[in-house]
Structure 1
Amino acid sequence: MYQGQLKSWNDRRGFGFISSNEVKSDVFIHISSLKHMQRSPKNGDVIYFDVTKQDDGKFRATNCRIQGVAFKNKPTNRRHKNNSRFLSKLILIAVVLAAVFIYQKFTLSTEQVENKSLTAEPVDTWFEKSQNFSCQGKQHCSEMTSCEEAEYYLSNCPNTKIDGDHDGTPCERQWCTGW
């Protein structure tokens, strides 16, 4: 890196020339090489710079800085940072909700299949339902052969003693246990 002094500066056009004992001729400097500095250069400023030879054979100053002048603070894009945090949280919540939804859907469908298999009626029960019952004077649960027969007697036959608590379910201890 070379050191030189700003010999001339055209603020309106944004360029000037640096003279340095380390380089033979004056070096062209453009404002774009100093855009990271807090202020524009002034005649007499000490400039640190690298040199690049241009196509026309002239030298140009690059990677420049002004002695004693601070660099511009890069404005942190706080809004962008906050937006990306918000977006990250939103995506995380969406993924968690989707996982919960899928899990519940899977477990509910599995439970429904299990419940259907548990509640499927055995074949012999189906045949009993299709049997024709008739009132034959039976009054007690010990005389019944199934819950269906007890229900038939409770609904259709007189003088039955098969619903002791009068809740509409006959023979709860023996035939119609509810399990």
Structure 2
Amino acid sequence: MFVEGKIKSYITDRGFGFISIAGETKDLFFHIRDLPNKNVEPKIGEQLKFQIVEDNGKLKAEHIIRLDLKPDTLRYSDAQASTRLSRNASPRFNERSRKGLVFTVLGCVVIAILAMSVYQKYQHYRQTQHLKTQQLMEQQAHIVDQQRKALGDLPDRVLSKQAEQRLNLPDSSSFNNNVVPATRSSVAQVSAQFKCDGRQHCSQMGSYEEAVFFLRNCPSTKMDGDNDGIPCEDQFGRH
């Protein structure tokens, strides 16, 4: 059952007041949370319509209707409340947006740094491999030059075989199974470019032609264990 009354008193700081009811000697308690449109502050003498309910053994007003407020006033108060709420929320929203932007920028910077580091390591690896290749080529060329000075003007093919053995590289003949063994005439032509210098063993020979020359022309050689006239068979694959 609804009854009517007027606001007799209201304490703004504490959010509650009392309603006087005609014919009643005792005022009725009400709280601001039970009023619709709480954004419009209650005024002394404002007409209310409400129900009387019991709360923790005490009577209070509930389901309050504010009779003196016009619909336009209610809509305006709601709009003001929404504006204040959006203004209050805006700084927090902007702060979250700024934080999100900062984290995004930091993430991009970290990714860029990592990508640059990986690229630099890859470039360093390529430069290192290129440098090693150049050093190997220079070392082989240096060995060839030393052999030319020590043995005279020899064919490049012979010198390259000697250089491969000094560098522990595989003999180029191992990559071609169709190489035809040198004939006696070719051995004779090449042998004119060798000279006896005291070497006796196969490990000291740079080519098969050189071994043949030492076996036939130099004393005390130890390169033909089975005395078949073919020196250094295992070393040069002459079986």
TM-score by length of 1: 0.52
Using the TM superposition, give the Cα deviation of residue 31 of structure 1 relative to its aligned residue in structure 2, in angstroms.
5.5
Residue of structure 1 equivalent to 2:211:
none
Which residue of 68, 84, 106 maps to 1:98? 106
Task: State yes or no: 1:15 paired with 2:18.
Answer: yes
Residue of structure 1 equivalent to 2:30:
30
Q: Is the 8 A contact 2:10 2:42 kept in 1?
A: no
Which residue of 76, 79, 89 maps to 2:84? 76
Using the TM superposition, give the Cα deviation of residue 61 of structure 1 relative to its aligned residue in structure 2, in angstroms.
0.3
Percent identity reads 9
Partner secondary structure for residue 76 of structure 1? helix
Q: Cα 1:25–1:63, aligned 2, differ >3 Å: closer, same or farther?
A: farther
Task: State yes or no: 1:113 paired with 2:115.
Answer: no
Q: Cα 1:103–1:54, aligned 2, differ >3 Å: closer, same or farther?
A: closer
Residue of structure 1 equivalent to 2:4:
4
Comparing 122-131 with 81-90, which one deviates more in the overlay? Answer: 122-131
Using the TM superposition, give the Cα deviation of residue 105 of structure 1 relative to its aligned residue in structure 2, in angstroms.
1.1
Aligned-partner Cα distance in 2 for 1:54–1:100: 60
Q: Which runs of 5+ in 1 are unaligned?
A: 137-179
Cα shift readout 1:41-92 (whole Å, capped 9, x = no counterpart): 41xx542223321344x53102423203144442614543331232133123
**AA paired with 1:9?**
K
Q: Cα 1:124–1:61, aligned 2, differ >3 Å: closer, same or farther?
A: closer
Cα shift readout 1:101-134 (whole Å, capped 9, x = no counterpart): 1221121011112101211135342245565989
Aligned-partner Cα distance in 2 for 1:5–1:55: 22
* Equivalent pairs, count: 128
Indicate the RMSD between aligned Cα atoms, in angstroms: 3.9
Q: Is the 8 A contact 2:8 2:18 kept in 1?
A: yes
Q: Cα 1:66–1:11, aligned 2, differ >3 Å: closer, same or farther?
A: same
Residue of structure 2 equivalent to 1:177:
none
Residue of structure 2 equivalent to 1:59:
59
Q: Cα 1:105–1:4, aligned 2, differ >3 Å: closer, same or farther?
A: same
Aligned-partner Cα distance in 1 for 2:134–2:31: 96
Q: Which runs of 5+ in 2 are unaligned?
A: 150-239
Instruction: Indicate the structure whose relative CO is greater, using CA pairs within 8 Å and at least 6 residues apart.
Output: 1
TM-score by length of 2: 0.41
